């Protein structure tokens, strides 16, 4: 069995491609079901965020599994299979392990250290569990990755003062508005994770915030949890605020643009709109006094923050490297289990046969048979303890395969 990750992210795909791969939960569940049917894939999880889509798999054959991923992603998006194959980053076995640990620890995010991805991986894991596509090997990997993320947070300051795409948008807005958003009127369209992050940063900037979400009552509940002064408006009031406020942060979960020229009235004042959704919320705006900034336009701010985090990132990568080695070691030790089971099985079988023969010949009373079995079992257990420990130690060494083959050969010959 092999670990395999097929990855599409901000590193190898532009925003237009990522929009087409922004699978909703219905499509995610559909793809998981398809993975489950595939004869080459034994376990599967699907991580789908605004900046990343990854198939995390345990496979019998990596080449056939990759080909299936390209086909299934193509059939559930508007992307050609050849383009998907050309754009993909593929990680196998040890590379896949290290990659997933890095992703979970937010070292592969648009903004290094942004902890949001850890929760998203946990959600992907939960969905895979719900659809019974996550078995022992994938469980072991993802749970180790989540522990790695916790270690990175605890042992470094990479997540201190975290910067997300949402906060990068607020930083850009501050810059455009003279360095402060104090008492500025701001509309936030959306009530999901990205919108909530934007609101949190806007609250800290002491802006006057109006939130609009699809569900008014749910948005009102969210707004109350974020700040007493946040106002909530209905979706019908969207044009009113679009055409009266200078600043808009849009982050809905809509699969297509929801703000276009039809909603916009010509105004003399300048407006700055931040589209932090993937797929994009804003499209086709032709008014000259409206500047629209999408996710990719915020990369400059993101990159400047990356420079500030380089020293902490190097520490974090060391943690990931160490925990990846720990994971590899645990896999090697697991390889010893079949050999150890074989030795114990042969010992137990030999003991039972000899005890049965002794009972049949009258050397041992029938009523004493169980006690003798326990005695012999304990003797073999003690006898095999040191060999067991030694075998597990040697599984970490280059000669592990040779030792395993030798033990298998010895005991299989004994069976014959």
The residues annotated with a catalytic role in the active site are 50
C-alpha of 59 from chain center: 18
Which segments of 231-342 are extended strands (E)?
Answer: 231-233, 247-250, 271-275, 290-294
Q: How far apart are CA 99 and CA 55, in angstroms?
A: 12
Q: How far apart are CA 179 and CA 172, in angstroms?
A: 9
| Residue ranges in 38-135 assigned as alpha helix (H) | 62-75, 81-87, 94-104, 116-130
Could you check whether the bond before residue 279 is cis, i.e. omega within 30 degrees of 0? yes
208: helix, strand or coil: strand
Of the candidates 73, 82, 97, which has an alpha carbon nearest to the alpha carbon of residue 1?
Answer: 97
Sign of CA dihedral 76, 77, 83, 89: negative
Q: What distance separates the 2 farthest-apart alpha carbons in the chain?
A: 108
User: What is residue 158's DSSP assignment?
Assistant: T
Tell me the backbone φ, ψ of residue 333, rounded to 5 degrees. -65, -35
Q: How far apart are CA 277 and CA 256, in angstroms?
A: 10
Strand partners, 248: 187, 273
């180790």: which residue's tokens?
144
Sign of CA dihedral 71, 74, 80, 84: negative
Residues 6 or more apart whose CB falls under 8 angstroms from that of 330 comprise 140
């Amino acid at each position: 069995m092999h670990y395999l990750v097929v990855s599409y992210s901000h590193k190898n795909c532009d925003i237009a491609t990522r929009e087409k791969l922004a699978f909703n939960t219905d499509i995610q569940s559909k793809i998981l079901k398809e993975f489950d049917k595939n004869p080459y894939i034994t376990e599967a999880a699907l991580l789908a965020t605004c900046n990343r889509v990854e198939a995390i798999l345990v496979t019998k054959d990596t080449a056939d599994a990759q080909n299936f991923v390209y086909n299934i992603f193509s059939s559930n998006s508007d992307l050609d299979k050849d383009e998907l194959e050309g754009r993909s980053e593929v990680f196998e076995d040890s590379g896949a392990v290290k990659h997933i640990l890095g992703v979970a620890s937010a070292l592969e995010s648009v903004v290094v250290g942004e902890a949001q991805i850890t929760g998203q991986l946990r959600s992907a894991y939960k969905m895979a569990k719900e659809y019974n596509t996550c078995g022992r090997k994938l469980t072991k990997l993802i749970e180790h990755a989540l522990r790695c993320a916790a270690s990175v947070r605890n042992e470094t300051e990479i997540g201190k003062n975290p910067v997300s795409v949402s906060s990068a948008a607020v930083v850009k807005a501050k810059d455009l508005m003279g360095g402060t958003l104090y008492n500025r009127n701001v509309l936030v369209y959306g009530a999901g994770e990205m919108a909530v992050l934007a609101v949190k940063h806007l609250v800290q900037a002491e802006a006057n915030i109006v939130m609009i979400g699809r569900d008014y009552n749910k948005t009102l509940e969210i707004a109350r949890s974020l700040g007493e002064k946040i106002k909530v408006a209905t979706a019908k009031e969207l044009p009113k605020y679009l055409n009266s406020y200078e600043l808009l942060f849009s982050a809905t979960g809509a699969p297509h643009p929801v703000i276009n020229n039809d909603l916009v009235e010509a105004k003399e004042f300048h407006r700055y709109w931040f589209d932090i959704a993937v797929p994009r919320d804003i499209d086709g705006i032709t008014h000259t006094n409206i500047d629209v900034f999408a996710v990719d336009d915020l990369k400059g701010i993101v990159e400047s923050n990356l420079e500030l985090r380089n020293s902490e990132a190097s520490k974090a990568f060391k943690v990931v490297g160490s925990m990846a080695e720990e994971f590899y070691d645990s896999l090697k030790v697991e390889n010893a289990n079949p050999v150890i089971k074989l030795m114990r099985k042969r010992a137990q079988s030999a003991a039972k046969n000899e005890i049965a023969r002794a009972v049949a010949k009258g050397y041992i009373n029938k009523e004493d048979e169980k006690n003798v079995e326990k005695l012999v079992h304990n003797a073999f257990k003690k006898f095999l303890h040191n060999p067991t420990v030694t075998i597990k130690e040697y599984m970490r060494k280059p000669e592990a395969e040779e030792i395993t083959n030798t033990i298998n050969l010895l005991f299989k010959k004994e069976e014959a």
